[in-house]
Amino acid sequence: MPELPEVETVKNEIAPHVLGRTIKGVTLLWEGIVKETPVKEFLDRVTGRVVTAIHRHGKYLLFNLDSGDSLVVHLKMTGSLFAGASEPPQYTRAIIQLENGQNIYFRDPRKFGVLKVVQDSNVIESKLGPEPLEKEFTVRIFAERLKGRKAPIKALLLDQKFLAGVGNMYADEALFASRIHPERISGSLTADEVKRLHKAIREVLKAAIIKKGASIVTYYRPDGSKGTAQTEFNVAHGQVEKCHVCGTPIKRIVVRGRGTYFCPKCQPAAGGKL
């Protein structure tokens, strides 16, 4: 599933294709992709509008339109945006036609992806926690948000209201890098652990952006190529059998319904010291 680094990559690489362009029309090959607004209203509000800016909030992409509306894209589990392809890729659900003849294809095999139009982008932002890579996300803010929280830390990191953009892969990688067991009660982390985890979240996300995201199964960059962040995973997705630090086999458990990979020695349950 695309997380912050994947969506950031899509934003950066789709921007040159759409900025300043007029949307000539949108062809829906599956109307169910449009959420919240009736399809006709959606098409009316998007057609003929100029894309003035593009932003990412958590895992959402927002295309600001000259009408003041924003076209919102969520790739969910298996979505990708393609630009520059001459034919629609298999599983294309929507085609955004630009006035210069170029098409943006929304490919989505599992059909969980979302297209919608909103008047006020704050309706998206207000549902999300802090952006982990922004300077406002300090260790102090992170510590305050963790205080008293009873959920396992792995589950809390996936909660988009707690922190925007982190998903299953980068939560596992950040917990490994900070040597914290995924089932630790969030509010029980020591000051040192909070500091380590804060640093790890930021480093893991930044490294993955440099690698243009992780292509495990269905994530593609807009030009159809794959990201390579998965080649540096230490635990996520069970990509590696043994811990590269200590040689212990990587273990899989399920935390609040999500498959979770960790090193039982480097990330001890009691929060041991290393």
Structure tokens at 258: 């999500």
Contact between 246 and Zn ion by CB under 5 A: the answer reads yes
Residue in 21, 76, 258, 265 annotated catalytic: 258
Give catalytic status of residue 3 as yes or no: yes
Residues in region 125-154 near Zn ion by CB under 5 A? none
Work out whether the CA dihedral 71, 4, 29, 84 comes out positive or negative.
Answer: positive
Specify the residue, 107 or 181, whose C-beta has the smaller distance to Zn ion: 181
Structure tokens at 179: 């040597």
**CB of 253: closest distance to Zn ion in angstroms?**
15
| Residue 11 parent element (H or E) | helix 4-18
Residue in 56, 59, 116, 184 annotated catalytic: 59
Can you give the C-alpha Rg of the chain in angstroms?
20
**CB of 246: closest distance to Zn ion in angstroms?**
3
CA gap 30, 82 in Å, rounded:
17
Contact between 26 and Zn ion by CB under 5 A: the answer reads no
Contact between 214 and Zn ion by CB under 5 A: the answer reads no
Quick check: helix, strand or coil at residue 49? coil
Specify the residue, 201 or 243, whose C-beta has the smaller distance to Zn ion: 243
Give catalytic status of residue 59 as yes or no: yes
Specify the residue, 56 or 179, whose C-beta has the smaller distance to Zn ion: 179
**CB of 189: closest distance to Zn ion in angstroms?**
19
Give catalytic status of residue 258 as yes or no: yes
According to DSSP, the β-strands at 251-255 and 114-118 are unpaired
- Binder of Zn ion out of 111, 218, 265, 268 (CB under 5 A): 265
Specify the residue, 4 or 243, whose C-beta has the smaller distance to Zn ion: 243
Closest CA relative to residue 82, chosen from 92, 74, 68, 69: 92
CA gap 163, 132 in Å, rounded:
7
- Binder of Zn ion out of 54, 83, 243, 255 (CB under 5 A): 243
CA gap 155, 58 in Å, rounded:
16
Give catalytic status of residue 2 as yes or no: yes
Say how many Å lie between the first and final Cα of the chain, rounded. 32
Contact between 250 and Zn ion by CB under 5 A: the answer reads no
How many beta carbons lie within 10 A of that of residue 137, not counting itself? Answer: 19
Q: 242 near 164, Cβ under 8 Å? A: no
DSSP 89: P
Specify the residue, 29 or 246, whose C-beta has the smaller distance to Zn ion: 246
**CB of 5: closest distance to Zn ion in angstroms?**
24
Quick check: helix, strand or coil at residue 218? coil
Contact between 245 and Zn ion by CB under 5 A: the answer reads yes
Which residues would be at the binding site for Zn ion (CB under 5 A)?
A: 243, 245-246, 248, 263, 265-266
Would you name the residues annotated as active-site residues? 2-3, 59, 258
